[in-house]
Chains A and B, each alone.
Chain A
Amino acid sequence: MGFVTPDYGTIFWMLIIFGIVLFILKKFAWGPILKALKDRERSISDALNSAEKARKEVAGLKASNDLIIAEARKEKDIILKEARDIKDKIIAEAKVQANAEAQKGIEIARQQIIAEKDAAINDIKKQVAELSVMIAEKVIKKELENPKDQDILVKDLLKDLKLT
């Protein structure tokens, strides 16, 4: 059985050829190919990592944006509320002041009215007195022509005077 006994000539050549091929491929093929594979793997994983990082950054930015917006909104609400309060306060104050002014005006007017009324009453009293005196004069002039009547009159007058 010739083909189960290894032939030393073939072994010799095979050793040389395979050794050389192993050396050549190791140096010029496997080295560069495996290096290229590794480099590509690394660059792909780097790219993926940086994409992930960028995605996270964007998410972070978005979150902080939301935070800022929420804060701004809160501030706006506070400001609006303050403004409303101030407005209410101003209106209330104005009302109070206006009331006071009006009250004051009324008071003055009333005092003036009282003063005027007193003056008018006094005036009327004076005029009534004068008229009374005048009437009395005329009456007296007429009545006193009769002495009896004079007494009656004086008596009535005295009576009246007592009453007033």
Chain B
Amino acid sequence: MIQFIRPLLFIIFAIFVGTGSVQANEEPAKGEQSGHSDNFDAGKFVIEHVSDAYEWHIATFGETHISIPLPIILYSSNKGWNFFMSSRFHHGHETYNGFRIEHEGDNEGKIVEVNENGEFVSLPIDLSITKTVAGIFVSVIVLLFIFLSIAKSAQKRENKAPKGMQNLFEPVILFIRDEVAKPAIGEKKFEKFMPFLLTAFFFILINNLLGLVPIFPFGTNVTGNIAVTLVLALFTFFITSINANKHYWKEIYNPDVPWWLKFPIPLMPIVELSGVITKPFVLMVRLFANMLAGHMIVTVFISLIFIFNKLMGVEAGFGVSVISMAFSVFIVLLDILVSFIQAYVFTLLSALYFGMATSEHH
């Protein structure tokens, strides 16, 4: 138990320190804003914090932005493949090689191709390593490091008691195996799905938790990005469909209902088929919305400080900051809980769908 609590405490501590450092980073910006205080847009502030970006913003001191440039990969029919670092855009202020980041209009936030006069030409195919993708890389490195070292120690300490990190994660792995996969899929077939369930669980869990640590290289809103949860849900969908047995498909295209529900209008097949699509869709939205909401609430509480600062002066800003910090800490603690719950729910539901697709008809 103590093995489990120690890293948790560490994470909580990191969040405390990290949240504090966010405030510290914002402090000069606030001082600057009290000079020309009408340019703070809370909505934009929140959206920017939870959205993807072409560079990894760490802190802003006055007019100086400190951020890690990320690789931009573009393909346009006119110019072919383009590889360059996002620092070429100078935080989105400049045009490079005929590309620029649009700040308003339909393509807001996207990279567009422009001609010499700065007019819109086309949307290039954008495969850039954005902040989210970089965040995925970071968490994947953590994931691989943890589990490859556990696998190593598991092989080395065969038939012995687990030790260290192995001891910390083995109960979780056993929980996924014995409490999630076995009851949901069944004793006979669960082993086939274990790699995906475990990977999905730990990928989501680690991304959720690292997303709460606001210090570089963590703190990216990975599981709160709909593209990421879409891919996870797609994996569940394809694994379900590929492994589904005859009975599963029969229940969808020709369910055991009175004939007039199937002919001439195939009412039940339509309902069943929409269920097939809805299941992964719900998985995608649930994870995305939960994690996004958590991040948003924290940033909203932070931005409250600036709103009060703008409306009632510096003193009010300081006063509110105490309450805001308290609420942010509370929300972050709640988010830690939500991180575990969402990872568990995603895995459990995936396992249930696999179980449904492979269950034998009685």
A6 touches B154 (CB 8 A): no
Q: Shortest beta-carbon distance, A25 to chain B, in Å?
A: 5
List, in ascending order, chain A residues with CB within 8 A of B148's CB. Answer: 24, 28-29
Binding site secondary structure of chain B = helix
List, in ascending order, chain A residues with CB within 8 A of B126's CB. Answer: 7-9
Interface string of A2-26 (1 = CB under 8 A from B): 1111111111111101100110111
List, in ascending order, chain A residues with CB within 8 A of B195's CB. Answer: 22, 25-26, 30-31
Chain B interface size range: 35 or more
List, in ascending order, chain A residues with CB within 8 A of B132's CB. Answer: 10
A13 touches B136 (CB 8 A): yes
Q: Which of A30-89 contact B (CB under 8 A)?
A: 30-34, 36-37, 39-40, 43
Q: Shortest beta-carbon distance, B211 to chain A, in Å?
A: 14
B51 touches A10 (CB 8 A): no
Expressed in whole angstroms, the Cα–Cα distance for A25 and B160 within the complex equals 22
Closest 7 A/B residue pairs (Cβ): A10-B227, A36-B154, A26-B195, A29-B147, A6-B227, A14-B231, A29-B151
Q: Could you show 13 A-B contacts with beta carbons less than 8 Å apart? A: A2-B108, A7-B130, A9-B128, A13-B127, A14-B228, A18-B235, A21-B199, A25-B195, A26-B195, A29-B148, A30-B147, A30-B151, A32-B154
A34 touches B194 (CB 8 A): yes
A30 touches B199 (CB 8 A): yes
List the one stretch of B12-20, B137-145, B316-324, B352-360 in contact with chain A. Answer: B137-145
B127 touches A5 (CB 8 A): no
List, in ascending order, chain B residues with CB within 8 A of A34's CB. Answer: 173, 177, 191, 194
List, in ascending order, chain B residues with CB within 8 A of A3's CB. Answer: 47, 50-52, 225-226, 292
Expressed in whole angstroms, the Cα–Cα distance for A115 and B145 within the complex equals 133
Question: Given contacts A7-B52, A30-B199, A32-B155, is CB(A14)–CB(B150) below 8 Å?
Answer: no
List, in ascending order, chain B residues with CB within 8 A of A32's CB. Answer: 151, 154-155
> Could you tell me how many residues of chain A have their Cβ less than 8 Å away from some Cβ of chain B?
33
Residues of B within 8 A of A (CB): 47, 50-52, 108-109, 126-130, 132-133, 136-137, 140, 143-144, 147-148, 150-151, 154-155, 158-160, 170, 173-174, 177, 191, 194-196, 198-199, 203, 225-228, 230-232, 234-235, 292
- Interchain CB contact (< 8 A) of B198 among A5, A10, A14, A30: A30
A21 touches B140 (CB 8 A): yes
List, in ascending order, chain A residues with CB within 8 A of B47's CB. Answer: 2-3
B203 touches A18 (CB 8 A): yes
B144 touches A33 (CB 8 A): no
B228 touches A10 (CB 8 A): yes
- Interchain CB contact (< 8 A) of B230 among A11, A17, A26, A40: A11
- CB-nearest residue of chain B to A23: B195
Q: Shortest beta-carbon distance, B197 to chain A, in Å?
A: 9
Expressed in whole angstroms, the Cα–Cα distance for A67 and B191 within the complex equals 51
- Interchain CB contact (< 8 A) of A18 among B109, B174, B177, B231: B231
Expressed in whole angstroms, the Cα–Cα distance for A40 and B154 within the complex equals 10
B159 touches A43 (CB 8 A): yes
B231 touches A11 (CB 8 A): yes
Q: Shortest beta-carbon distance, B279 to chain A, in Å?
A: 18
Expressed in whole angstroms, the Cα–Cα distance for A61 and B35 within the complex equals 94
Expressed in whole angstroms, the Cα–Cα distance for A62 and B156 within the complex equals 42
Expressed in whole angstroms, the Cα–Cα distance for A139 and B136 within the complex equals 176
Expressed in whole angstroms, the Cα–Cα distance for A89 and B34 within the complex equals 130
List, in ascending order, chain B residues with CB within 8 A of A25's CB. Answer: 143-144, 147, 195, 198-199
